[in-house]
Amino acid sequence: MSRKTFSFGAIAAFAIANVIFSSAHSAEAEVPEVLAAPMIAAPGIEAEDDGIEIVPDPIFVSNEVVQPLPEPAAQPVAQAASLGELVQQVGAPKVLSEEMKCLAGAVYFESRGEPLSGQLAVAQVIINRADDPRFPASYCSVVTQPGQFSFIKKGRMPQIREHSAAWVRARAIAEIAHKGLWESEANEAVFFHARYVRPGWSQRKQRLAQINTHIFYR
């Protein structure tokens, strides 16, 4: 009787253990499915983790700020009633670039004995030539071009009497012409000659103006 009781007890214990083991195995197999299920937040409601909202740290970007400096305003030239008055207003620039020295030098040597309008016309011819593709592209190259200006010797400009009134006027005229502050009677001229000579090319050019001893053409 005791042996049967033992056998029934063992069988019962084995059955219980088997049920427990199967239940545990089934629960273990379902765990990954539960953990793998994504969390879907309801519309309009942000998902939270344990009631704590994660806010990303702000990112600060440092950019160099460059504030442009205002350019100095150009000093306006008062309205002049005559070219002579404008020459007085402009005066002679204290410092001349090489290009402006060539322009003023041509005015000085070629027309310092002419009225101011004649000096301005000579300066205008040089400026027009520098803008014309038929001639060199700079004032100095125009002035020193071989065979164009008789005062040029071996490609060089003679010595200028820099303390003379004629040089002061020539510098002012060059500045006025370069900046277009006064309209010349020979505004479009690219050629000129003294009236006491008659070069052959003058017959093929359009005459624009005669100012004292110079005749201007285009």
Integer Cα distance of 79 and 161 in angstroms: 31
What's the rounded mean pLDDT across residues 182-188?
95
pLDDT score recorded for residue 158: 96
9 found inside a domain:
no
Q: Which residues contact 102 (CB under 8 A, 6 or more apart)?
A: 138, 139, 140, 142, 143, 144, 157
Q: Please indicate, yes or no, if residue 89 is contained in any of the structural domains.
A: yes
Residue 216 lies in a domain: no
Pair 86, 181: CB distance under 8 Å: yes
Residue 147, both tokens: 């065979």
Give the structural domain span for 168: 83-188
Per the domain annotation, does 197 fall within a domain? no
Give percent above pLDDT 70 in the chain.
Answer: 64
Report yes or no on whether pTM surpasses 0.75. Answer: no
Mind listing the pLDDT tens digit for each residue in 29-47? 444 444 444 444 444 444 4
